[in-house]
Amino acid sequence: MSIIAEVSRWAIPFLLLIIPLAAFIRKVPVYESFVTGAEEGFKIAIKILPFLIGMLVSIRIFVDSGALEILAGLLEPIFIFFGVDTELTSIIPLAIMRPLSGAGALGVATQLIDQYGPDSFVGRLASTLQGSTDTTFFVLTVYFGSVGIKRYRYALKLGLLADITGLIASLWIVHYVFY
Amino acid sequence: MVNAIWLFMLVIGIVVAAINGRIDVVTESAMKAAELGVETAFGLIGVMSLWLGLMRLAEEAGFIRGLARFFSPLIRRLFPTLRPDSPALGAIIMNLSANILGLGNAATPFGLKAMQELQKENPNPDEASTAMITFLALNTSCITLIPATIIAVRLKAGSVNPTEIIGTTIFATSIAMTVAVTADYIMRRRARS
């Protein structure tokens, strides 16, 4: 664990050192090449702007209005039907939020951890869920948007399938390891 | 489907706010979210330029090609439609590596770069290519070795053992990734026929 943490800590300084150095040895005009590559950063960031705004507005209205809670309430019987404990249904808003918004999901997870305690079942489950799935819907719209893709084909279905799998796997493993 | 979800969230959100007598929330949230979108995109410009500049150096030094060659047995299986020397492969590998190390700031620039390269090889520019879908499936289900943010949250909340969820997280995400890759393989074949 501490080794992995160290690798994460050193990764960026290492890359910042080794890449320019290696390029220099290979006789690449390092500074000019860096600048040429960096130029693209601005263009890409501007390109994703409308997609970010479109998604954030819709998601934010959905969450802030209280619609998310209502949807979570509607989904509760389904979760219970599949054998999820009643107390664990507090995880449903997080499960819905996770694919939509990274910051939003972190907010919900933090609130759950504070409310139930980090070492409770809900706290551990929220932590595992937060780390094991991604903001699939958000990533898809922004990444596809950045290159002008309009038809996603089976991409969304696939991403959401992975998210649901992550949710089920999180439920199972937290139960298995800690209880 | 995206159009439907987008509209659904918007309409249901506004209707619920209206019923709850909190219609002001809609205005405020919409404005704030739009602003946040600009902040996020502009906030990306710096790191994005930094990483794309470095990546250009890595490309010209032959690093990226080397990486792609090293991972090629795996990658050829995952991305059968890409040429083995495709410039997209380097960006894909860098994106996944950054994801695994939990370097979210570095992952996004590489990911968007990968999409641009993939789009150059896309025969149908309006439509997601199979390689793009595979890439995004990997990207969104990718393992993170250290979920640093959530560990920090747990630590602050007074957890006895904030890092105890690393194992469960890696397990859950491995299962999700396996299912994603398998399902992608099946859906890809079904889509072709």
Selecting from B112, B128, B177 the residue whose C-beta is nearest the C-beta of A149 gives B128
Residue B182: CA count within 13 A, CB half-sphere? 9
- Say whether residue A54 is in contact with chain B using an 8 A CB cutoff: yes
Residue B15 inside a domain? The answer is no
The pLDDT score that the predictor gives to residue A169 is 93
Residue B112 inside a domain? The answer is yes
**Which residues of chain B have a CB within 8 Å of the CB of A120?**
none
CA-based max dimension of chain A: 65
Residue B77 inside a domain? The answer is yes
**Model confidence at A2, in pLDDT bands (50, 70, 90)?**
low
Mean pLDDT calculated for residue range B112-130: 94
Residue B10 inside a domain? The answer is no
The pLDDT score that the predictor gives to residue A168 is 92
Give the pLDDT confidence of A8-54 residue by residue, as tens digits: 678 788 889 999 999 999 999 999 999 998 998 888 888 889 988 99
Cα angle A105, B91, A8; round to 5: 55
The pLDDT score that the predictor gives to residue B41 is 86
Mean pLDDT calculated for residue range A145-168: 93
Best CA proximity match to B12, nearest among A92, A66, A141, A104: A66
| Chain A residue with minimum CA distance to B188 | A154
Q: For chain A, which residues make up each domain, given as ranges?
A: 46-178
Separation in Å, CA of A69 to nearest CA in chain B: 10
Question: Residues 74..103 of A with a Cβ closer than 8 Å to B: which?
Answer: none
Q: Percent of chain A, pLDDT > 90?
A: 53
Whether the per-residue pLDDT at A1 is higher than 70: the answer is no
Is the model more confident about B73 or about A27?
A27
Which residue range(s) make up the domain with B156? 26-192
Separation in Å, CA of A153 to nearest CA in chain B: 6
H helix or E strand, kind and range, residue A43: helix A30-64
Name residue B177's amino acid.
M
- Residues B49 and B51: their CA atoms lie apart, in Å, by 6
**Which residues of chain A have a CB within 8 Å of the CB of B47?**
41
Residue B4 inside a domain? The answer is no
The pLDDT score that the predictor gives to residue A147 is 94
Average pLDDT, chain A: 89
Chain-chain contact of A59 with B9 (C-beta, under 8 angstroms): yes
Give the pLDDT confidence of A74-115 residue by residue, as tens digits: 988 888 887 777 777 888 999 999 998 888 898 899 999 999
Task: Give the Å distances, CA to CA, from B44 to A93, B67, B126.
Answer: 28, 25, 25
Find where tokens 């130029």 sit. Answer: A39
Selecting from B136, B160, B172 the residue whose C-beta is nearest the C-beta of A128 gives B172
Best CA proximity match to A19, nearest among B57, B12, B133: B57
Find where tokens 């794309």 sit. Answer: B52
- Say whether residue A147 is in contact with chain B using an 8 A CB cutoff: yes
**Sign of the Cα pseudo-torsion (B28, B31, B37, B39, in order):** negative
Find where tokens 């501490």 sit. Answer: A2
**Model confidence at A155, in pLDDT bands (50, 70, 90)?**
very high
Give the pLDDT confidence of B151-190 residue by residue, as tens digits: 889 999 999 998 899 899 999 999 999 999 999 999 998 8
- Residues B6 and A152: their CA atoms lie apart, in Å, by 14
- Assembly ipTM: 0.87
Is the model more confident about B159 or about B103?
B159
Within 8 A by CB and 6+ apart from B145, the residues are A4, A7, A8, B100, B101, B102, B166, B170
Residue B147 inside a domain? The answer is yes
- Residues B136 and A158: their CA atoms lie apart, in Å, by 9
Number of domains in chain B: 1
Within 8 A by CB and 6+ apart from B165, the residues are A124, A127, A128, A131, B147, B150, B151, B154
